[in-house]
Amino acid sequence: MSTDFDQLVYDLAPRKFSWKGNLWVAILVVIILVGSYSYVQQVRQGLVITDMRDYALWGVYISNFVFFVAISLVGSLITAILRLSGIKWSTPLTRIAEIIAVAAIIMAGVTIIIDMGRPDRMLNLFMHGRLQSPIIWDVIVITTYLVISVLLLYYPLLPDFSILKRHAPESARVRKWYSGLSLNWVGNSEQRRIYSRSIKALSILIIPVAFAIHTVTAWLFETTYRPGWDSTNFGPYFIAGAFVAGAGAVVAVMYVLRKTYRLENYITDFHFNKMGKTLVLLCLIYLYFNINEYLIPTYKSTEEEAVHLQSLFTGQYATLFWTAIIGGLVLPVIILLFPQGRKPLPLFLVSIAVVVGAWWKRYIIVVPTLSHPFLPIQGVPESWRHYSPTWMEWSITFATLAAALLIITLLVRFLPIIPIHETSEERGLVDAAQTK
């Protein structure tokens, strides 16, 4: 049996949580429980517990939904695009990206249900849905993307499950699970042939679906005639933003996992350097779209657009807007242009700024527009003119974010963070047990 291979399995096999891991899970569960309490109140009392009213009818929930959809795009970026491009350095990051994508798309679906005043009527979407409506397109494409993401996570795990069922330092019951999930993988030529073809097909398939999920989400806004959303640029603008958010999320998670599981030999400074450069490119592309999205409406300054833009540039939302643009895009680009900025810790801090900025950017896209409709707001209570999420909305929103992190945490607990099989192949290591 190869010693190097055993060391590799030892390094990369999932491990039980330390007390820190358990504390982390406990904190997430508490946040989820608080959010669940608020959600029960929302189901019992209705959306009146939120600050959403006739005008701001999409609030923090939809902002959060768009954020999750954005984050989920990373699965296609790291896994599919880099895989199809023949880039090998991304191997240690693929599993992380796939896990993030699955967690994010699950929570995107959950968030949409949370936004529904009557979730018990969700079935009506499928029974009476109209193909003319972008909402239905979104439902279809999210479901499709979820299935493909799960398949893309699962397929590369087959050889790993096979390795883990023999080598993982786990209980017999967990090994039995690994054995079942490995689908009798022995790595023979037929299995490898189907496996390789399937992963290639999935990598190709996920790209248009990933683009579609974000384009359709953009269309939800574009097809609604409102200041700030009346753009033909929204599809690529959203996709560009999603790549930024997703890449930021991957960097943040890979830093934490590297630190927690001492994976410095596998996720190296080289990977951070590459991801840092990728992030710069993505931020610059997104900045380009932002300039398009804000410069031209500012130049034209139609009455309603001018009011909307004023609220972003100098008005009520100026702090958020400039923080998201400068803190979440411009400064990261400047920092990451320097090699020192692409070291793990600075890049981690930058990625956190990028992800937080990306979340607020979605909020800025959703809420200010709804506060400035084309028709004047008249004859309604003063409180309806402004939107400020209630604590219950925040608690539910934080619960969804915590739930996404919990899904990632639990998947990390039972799945190898770095593909063992692929890494062993790249390093020329052979599973002695398999060669017998």
Partner 1 sequence: MLGSVLAYAQDKKYRARVSLQYTKIMDKESYIGISAKYKGKDGFDQASDLEFSIYKVDQNDSLIYLGKVKTNENGKAKFLLAADELENEEATVFNYIAKIENNERFEDGETSVSFSVANLTAKIEMIDSVNQISAVLTDASGIPLQEVPLRVGLKRLYGSLQIGENRYETDENGSILIPLVDPMPGVDGNLNFEVVLNENDTYGTIKAMVNAPIGVPVVEESTFDERTMWSPPTKTPLYLLIFPNLIILGVWLPILILTFNLYRISKSKTQ
Interface residues toward partner 1, by CB under 8 A: 128-132, 137, 140, 144, 147-148, 151, 154-155, 158, 183-186, 188-191, 194-195, 197-198, 201-202, 205, 208-209
Nearer to partner 1, 145 or 237 (CB): 145
Residues in the chain: 436
Nearer to partner 1, 41 or 144 (CB): 144
Cβ–Cβ contacts within 10 Å for residue 418, how many? 23
- Judge whether 255 and 344 are in contact, CB under 8 Å: yes
What gap in Å lies between CA 56 and CA 273, rounded to an integer?
42
Q: How far is the CB of 408 from partner 1 (least distance, A)?
A: 24
- Judge whether 406 and 32 are in contact, CB under 8 Å: yes
- For residue 88, the Cα-to-chain-centroid distance in whole angstroms is 23
Nearer to partner 1, 184 or 319 (CB): 184
Nearer to partner 1, 201 or 380 (CB): 201
Nearer to partner 1, 150 or 356 (CB): 150
CB-hemisphere CA count at 13 Å for 104? 30
Nearer to partner 1, 23 or 147 (CB): 147
Nearer to partner 1, 151 or 331 (CB): 151
Q: How far is the CB of 121 from partner 1 (least distance, A)?
A: 16
Q: How far is the CB of 382 from partner 1 (least distance, A)?
A: 25
- Helix/strand/coil (H/E/C) assignment for every residue in the chain: CCHHHHHHHHHHCCCCCCHHHHHHHHHHHHHHHHHHHHHHHHHHHCHHHCCCCCCCCCCHHHHHHHHHHHHHCHHHHHHHHHHHCCCCCCHHHHHHHHHHHHHHHHHHHHHHHHHCCCHHHHHHHHHCCCCCCHHHHHHHHHHHHHHHHHHHHHCCHHHHHHHHHHHCCCCHHHHHHHHHHCCCCCCCHHHHHHHHHHHHHHHHHHHHHHHHHHHHHHHHHHCCCCCCCCCCCHHHHHHHHHHHHHHHHHHHHHHHHHHHHCCCCCCCHHHHHHHHHHHHHHHHHHHHHHHHHHHHHHHHCCHHHHHHHHHHHCCCCHHHHHHHHHHHHHHHHHHHCCHHHHCHHHHHHHHHHHHHHHHHHHHHHHHHHHHCCCCCCCCCCHHHHCCCCCHHHHHHHHHHHHHHHHHHHHHHHHCCCCCHHHHHHHCCCCCHHHHC
Nearer to partner 1, 146 or 353 (CB): 146
Q: How far is the CB of 229 from partner 1 (least distance, A)?
A: 18
Q: How far is the CB of 301 from partner 1 (least distance, A)?
A: 31
Q: How far is the CB of 194 from partner 1 (least distance, A)?
A: 5
Q: How far is the CB of 150 from partner 1 (least distance, A)?
A: 10
Q: How far is the CB of 209 from partner 1 (least distance, A)?
A: 6
Nearer to partner 1, 200 or 385 (CB): 200
Nearer to partner 1, 179 or 292 (CB): 179
Nearer to partner 1, 132 or 378 (CB): 132
Nearer to partner 1, 46 or 180 (CB): 180
Q: How far is the CB of 267 from partner 1 (least distance, A)?
A: 29
Q: How far is the CB of 387 from partner 1 (least distance, A)?
A: 29
Q: How far is the CB of 86 from partner 1 (least distance, A)?
A: 22
Q: Which amino acid is at 319?
A: T
In the chain, what is the straight-line distance between the N-terminal and C-terminal CA atoms, in Å? 10
Tokens of 17: 């949580």
Going by C-beta distance under 8 Å and a sequence separation of 6 or more, which residues neighbour residue 224? none
Q: How far is the CB of 375 from partner 1 (least distance, A)?
A: 20
